[in-house]
Amino acid sequence: MRLRARPFAALLATFTLAAGLSGIATPSVAQPRTSQGGATTAEASDLSSAATLAADSYTWKNVRVDGGGFVPGIVFNRSEKNLAYARTDIGGAYRWDQSGKQWKPLLDSVDWDHWGWTGVVSLASDPVAPNNVYVAAGTYTNDWDPTHGAVLRSSDRGATWTPSVLPFKLGGNMPGRGMGERLAVDPHKNSVLYLGAPSGNGLWRSTDSGATWSKVTTFTNPGNYSQDPTDTSGYGNDNQGVTWVTFDGRGGSSGTATKNIYVGVADKANTVYRSTDAGATWSRIAGQPTGYLAHKGVLDEGTGYLYLSLSDTGGPYDGGKGKIARYDTATGTWTDVSPVAEADTYYGFSGLTVDRQKPGTLMATAYSSWFPDTQIFRSTDSGATWTTAWEYTSYPTRSTRYTQDVSSVPWLTWGANPSPPETSPKLGWMTESLEIDPFDSNRMMYGTGATLFGTENLKNWDSGSKFTITPMVKGIEETAVNDLASPPSGAPLLSGLLDVGGFRHTNLDAVPAMMYTSPNFTSTTSLDFAEASPSRVVRVGDADAAPHVAFSTDNGANWFGGTDPSGVTGGGTVAAAADGSSFVWSPAGTGVYRTTGFGSSWTASTGIPAGATVESDRKNPKKFYGYKSGVFYVSTDSGATFTAKPSTGLPTEGNVRFKAVPGTEGDVWLAGGAATGTYGLWHSTDSGATFTKLSNVTQADSIGFGKAAQGASYQTLFTSAKIGGVRGIFRSTDAGASWTRINDDAHQWGWTGGAITGDPRIFGRVYVATNGRGILYGDSASGDTGTTDPGTDPGTDPGTDPGTDPGTDPGTDPGTPADAACKVTYKITNQWSGGFQGDVTLTNTGTTAIDGWKLAWSYPGGQRISQAWNATVQQSGTAVTATDVGWNGKLAVGSSASFGFTGSWTGSNGAPSAFTLGGKSCSL
């Protein structure tokens, strides 16, 4: 099954977003202060009010899907074993964790205002100083992404980042994104980096480890190929530019820039260039193949051969012809070493790698071979002869050199049972990344449009026995999320996703067995359940053919398709009556319809425009709601007729989402708008006849409900919003009177406006949609205790100290309990040679609130903290103090605050034996 392109074009084009920065293994990105998309003076001033916000410490995890999107790049470090990275088109970058055989996300600290930096067009790992890693970040080169691209640089393997904003945009989700790597570090002088730019911006160079960049003016070919010159959106017609940089590390000396450099260009007549003087001058290599684009340029330093994988298009979906060419760097001779005659190809070549342990061994992929499968080629004689991963014995029967086990990610079969020669699961599609571990000839990884596969017994290929291919994708979560629902019974979560449709999540920490089937949708655009009968579920989505609607009577475990009204072209939105007796559907391509059965026939609704968003009242089964262009609509006859309400002041542009509160008729919350106009959060208690805008919410993009706090009479609200000058995920237990930020700067995930919902069964649990980092779920450290939001007194100004005795002597440690009743949890979350990453959680176990904290400890060895987030950390010798950063300084009884840091160690990395708060000991 083909995954759709994920430009998010139609959707993002309607958003009036600033851009965003963030990470889940507690990495952080320093905010840039530049004119090209960094925080402005006004933004900095706005942030000053953040200290008045209450905060609760949350634990965040991904709802496991494992993969779900395109992995266009895999990068192994050439000097340190087991140090590897993967890049995704819209879901950030990851580092391989060998001990857990999983990937660690590195860009979760990307914030809302720089959301485009979650798209990674290239990644480079420093071969001289392995702690250094660089990311070329930016999602679109057109106006869909309002932020300029940046090179994010890290000296601690991606735990923290510093951005260098570029004067142009980068396109991690643009056509041609599987080519590369565009970013490269000089193996002899690692302060020198090169970056191939798109959009006619040419070749760029940094001589100060990525801090500043300048154009290489002597490189005069910026490329001329675009996927679709007739496209006027800036997407298909963008010049794919300079596409890869490869250094010849043979010879030379440390500290002196490498002389021989090869560069690929999106130009079918001139696709590869060389410099022999460290980039001072450049020339087209004579005799090179023409009529093709070089997706990759890989040098086998053991033989001196440069290999090109060539395709007639830029990919990652298309490609009808291809070649593999070999260039002898010693003699200047070109040789066609294609494994298949050009006339017999119906695909292009892209994935390309050499075995650093075995000169002359190389592998390549037919990335655009959709039918019956992708193909992987292997040569052990520098391309003179090749063998294939599979071949026909007698059509349509195939024999394979491999066995494939997807039991760890069973949905990769897509629930399909195709006729030969197709199989399920497939080897993959869009296989533009392919790498043999430079330290282990047995390990190979390759990316597809849905996952990352690999093997650890690759040498069986040559011995005649079969090697095993399995998903090596654990930890990579890169689905884009359209909708989320958490029913009061049954599965805790139902998801609507792009590309893979969505899942019934019965265990949040386990990979679901299968996505929704019967029918499959390429993308689920909307789903709903009957509030009083959660076994009845409906979903709608995009598909290559009808139906675009499906129903379930067992809480989403099994499905059957409905029929489409005339004119349906896409999913749109759908709503289920509170008792499941009827459904209202607003599909793409036509007007709003209703059915009183399970979609076997539909009747057009009246009084509501085509394209309106629809939802249902969660109490009255005959009541439905609609919204479009600032007008709210209500139906009281199961969606047969709708009436426009006279509400004024609602947003007329931008993205708007609304939901009705379970259990109360007519209780509706509406979030959305645009920064150029009306924007915020509104509440109605009379079925939309009137709406009241919340004055304490500046911007809001989604709204959801969860279990009420203990003793509270109103459901907990969750929103992705801007409150008190801060963008984040917020919670309210007092119907919006006060708000608590529940994420932190290390957990922001770029754009989170798609969907949000609480869990009706677990207080504090929230599910957050991202655009490329999957579904995140958070649990409060404070649990279901008390009648109010931990850390916030709903009856007071949210900036006051909830629970601090006003009669306390002001000379005492402010807010510190007399017995300093506190508990500390200290964790080493990651460790490598000479470096580590840690996390500390401080919990108030006393009987009064803490207002401002300073935690102290001493290290037993040679540890030095270099950078911290969510706390101000100072160190003198072995003594360390960590002070709150304002917004997380208030700790109600039972609540916690967490902060993280990175540092170095020598000798040993033992944990501190004691912590003190205000000079008094905390328990460990």
Q: Is the CB of residue 707 less than 8 Å from the CB of residue 716?
A: yes
β-partners of residue 62 are 776
3-state helix, strand, coil in the chain (%, to 5): 5, 40, 60
Measured CA to CA, the distance from residue 743 to residue 157 in angstroms comes to 23
Measured CA to CA, the distance from residue 437 to residue 458 in angstroms comes to 10
Count Cβ neighbours within 10 Å for each residue of 512-541 and write b for 16 or more, e otherwise. bebbbeebbbbbbbbbbbbbbbbbbbbbbb
Q: Does the annotation count 89 as an active-site position?
A: yes
User: Which tokens sit at 893?
Assistant: 């009884």
Closest CA to 550 of 475, 494, 618: 494
Q: CB-side exposure of 247: number of CA atoms within 13 Å?
A: 25
Catalytic residue among 56, 66, 89, 238: 89
What lies within 8 Å, CB to CB, of 642 at 6+ separation is 592, 605, 606, 607, 608, 624, 626, 633, 634, 635
Nearest 10 degrees: Cα torsion 230, 231, 234, 235: -120
Query: Which residue is listed with tokens 């592998």?
Result: 363
Measured CA to CA, the distance from residue 65 to residue 479 in angstroms comes to 8
Conformational region of residue 55, where left means phi above 0, alpha means psi within -120 to 50, and beta covers everything else: beta
What lies within 8 Å, CB to CB, of 217 at 6+ separation is none
Q: Is the CB of residue 564 less than 8 Å from the CB of residue 549?
A: yes
Q: Does the annotation count 231 as an active-site position?
A: no
Q: Is the CB of residue 95 less than 8 Å from the CB of residue 107?
A: no
β-partners of residue 453 are 446, 471
Measured CA to CA, the distance from residue 896 to residue 922 in angstroms comes to 13
Q: Is the CB of residue 633 less than 8 Å from the CB of residue 625?
A: yes
Catalytic residue among 499, 701, 759, 793: 499
Provide the terminal-to-terminal Cα distance of the chain, rounded to the nearest Å: 52
Report which DSSP code applies to 44.
H
Measured CA to CA, the distance from residue 318 to residue 430 in angstroms comes to 9
Report which DSSP code applies to 480.
B
> What is the set of active-site residues?
89, 499
